[in-house]
Amino acid sequence: MDIYPWHKNVQLAFLRNKTNLSHAQIFFGSDSVGRNNLVRNICQTLLCHQVLDDQLPCQDCESCNWFKNTSHPDFFLVDESEDNLNISVDKIRELKDFFELSSHYQDSYKIAAVMNAENLSKASANALLKILEEPPNNCYIFLAIANLSNALPTIRSRCQLVSLPNPSKEQMDLYIKNNEIKIDHGQLEFLNNSVQALSEEKDRYAIALEIIEELKKGNSVQLSKTTTKWLDYGLKWFVDVIQKWTYEIFLNKLTSQHCYFPQHHEVVGELAKKSSLENLLLFQKRINEIKLYSTKSVNKDLNLDLILLEYKKIFS
């Protein structure tokens, strides 16, 4: 359960103030692995008996050992993310019951963490709100969520909000070096500098490169060169790839800058020259329409061809 190096300061700043700890907090940031690890690590530290100077858990005391064995009597975890389930109202009732028991150690905290809190159903969010309205003594709730806007305003207003930073370029480079992660030139830019995407999207990236190879041909893209593999991760994913690519052409046309594909700067520049701004905007409009229905049950192959025909028009 290592936390990202760029989250260490968040933990330090947060726990330095633990005497004024709010009863509920929302940690929000797009990287679910990093977010959940940080929340767990903070909970473990709050329960640890020999916290280290830099506000990290000792990993050695009885409490830390219980925590690592997921058997800590004063910690309640709601994490349905693996099964992709909604968080049921029964789970929140269990949480409430947990808070009503006295803590194992005298005067110790009782802590609950709700991961991926965007998956709270309406009923479970309301049940949670009831707990937040009258939090029992020494009880603390941590909610982890990707987007703050996905939390009910009534819940948000009762929580301390902690925004998780993204790594700087230098932090990211160091992380990749220290962890001996192999990446291609341009891969990080394509994945929006996300560590999580780096580990999860390895296979996807190879296919994205294949798609880009074809898109580089501009007006000469051949529909016969497409393969069903391009749709392995869904139509929406394909739309995302081509959207990034055409955004790059658009950006180049306006500013000569690059964003997602630094390695293809030259080709993008040539395509930008062959394109018209009007056609690029028309394509964006069209692809946004397709994106709206791209997760519904539609004929994906047909839409793939349609998108490529529209793409070719950019350069006509």
Binding-site ranges for Zn ion (CB under 5 A): 48, 57-58, 61, 64
Smaller CB distance to Zn ion: residue 72 or 91? 72
Please choose, from the candidates 241, 246, 230, the residue with its C-alpha nearest in 3D space to the C-alpha of residue 301: 230
Smaller CB distance to Zn ion: residue 29 or 57? 57
Buried/exposed code over 253-270 (b: 16+ C-beta within 10 A; e: otherwise): beeeebbbbebbeebbee
Minimum gap (Å) between residue 25 Cβ and Zn ion: 21
Minimum gap (Å) between residue 94 Cβ and Zn ion: 26
Cβ count near 7 (within 10 Å): 22
Smaller CB distance to Zn ion: residue 72 or 158? 72
Minimum gap (Å) between residue 77 Cβ and Zn ion: 17
- Residue 111: Cβ-neighbour burial (10 angstroms; 0-12, 13-18, 19+): buried
Smaller CB distance to Zn ion: residue 12 or 292? 12
Minimum gap (Å) between residue 63 Cβ and Zn ion: 5
Smaller CB distance to Zn ion: residue 60 or 289? 60
Q: What does each C-alpha distance from 86 to 12, 92, 124, 148 come to in angstroms? A: 32, 12, 9, 18
Render 196-228 in DSSP notation, one character per residue: HHHHH-HHHHHHHHHHHHHHTTGGG--GGG--G
Query: Residue 59 has what DSSP assignment?
Result: S
Smaller CB distance to Zn ion: residue 58 or 152? 58
Give the largest Cα separation in the chain, rounded.
Answer: 75
**Sequence-distant (≥ 6) Cβ neighbours of residue 265 within 8 angstroms:** 252, 258
Smaller CB distance to Zn ion: residue 51 or 212? 51
Minimum gap (Å) between residue 16 Cβ and Zn ion: 18
Alpha-carbon distance 66 to 48, whole Å? 10
Minimum gap (Å) between residue 133 Cβ and Zn ion: 32
Minimum gap (Å) between residue 103 Cβ and Zn ion: 16
